[in-house]
Amino acid sequence: MADRMDIYRIIAGLIKIQLKCPECTVSRSSDGESVVFTISNYPTFPNGAEKDIIVTYPFTWLNTKSVNGKVAVTPSRIVSENVRFWQGNVGTPFLHAHIFQDGHPCWGHNNQEMATVQEIVKHLILTLRCENIGEYSLRVGWAATEIFGKRDKPKEIINNAKKQAARVEKKYGLDPVNPIELSQWLDAQFRLRVGMLRG
């Protein structure tokens, strides 16, 4: 029967398709506690230096079981403090307005956990594309760091976010993204690929 790693490989494939990055690999951390997604050749802020981006979630995020010969996937709710975004190597936080110094993301004061697969994967994709930084996100989730600009200067943060988004689009050859359509695509493609697995 398909196990967690089979499902995580499906997710890595969806991330690769959406980002058009050379590689998106998945592995289990040495202590067995985390699933690790590594996105290659990412043009980092502020000068576009290419580094691997490492994103980790609790390994127990997704549970699988066999139901009538098919694989059923049940996600656990993830708290933002249990997620990490690193660049280059573990311990170096991903430079982004909504990533704290310890690498965990800011999901907003009233939304510190996420439940569905498409919600979490969409967040990863939009974070790497810097498409989740705007007036609303800065008002609700504020700037976790001042990497993109001072917290009292939201226009500076948004301007730098747009520059970084353009840098990523150019590097990977990306088209503009619609968050609603992205969520729908992720949901449909995830269901399709999981449906091909045997329970």
CA dihedral 137→141→144→147, nearest 10 degrees, is: 10
Contacts of residue 62, Cβ cutoff 8 Å, sequence gap at least 6: 4, 7, 8, 73, 74, 75, 76, 117
| pLDDT tens digits for range 154-176 | 999 999 999 999 999 999 999 99
In this structure, what token pair is assigned to residue 113? 């956990």
User: Which residues face 92 on adjacent strands?
Assistant: none
Average pLDDT over residues 92-99: 95
| pLDDT tens digits for range 13-69 | 999 999 999 999 999 999 999 999 999 999 999 999 999 999 999 999 999 998 988
How far, in Å, CA of 51 to CA of 22, rounded? 12
How far, in Å, CA of 121 to CA of 189, rounded? 12
Question: What pLDDT, on the 0 to 100 scale, is given for residue 115?
Answer: 74
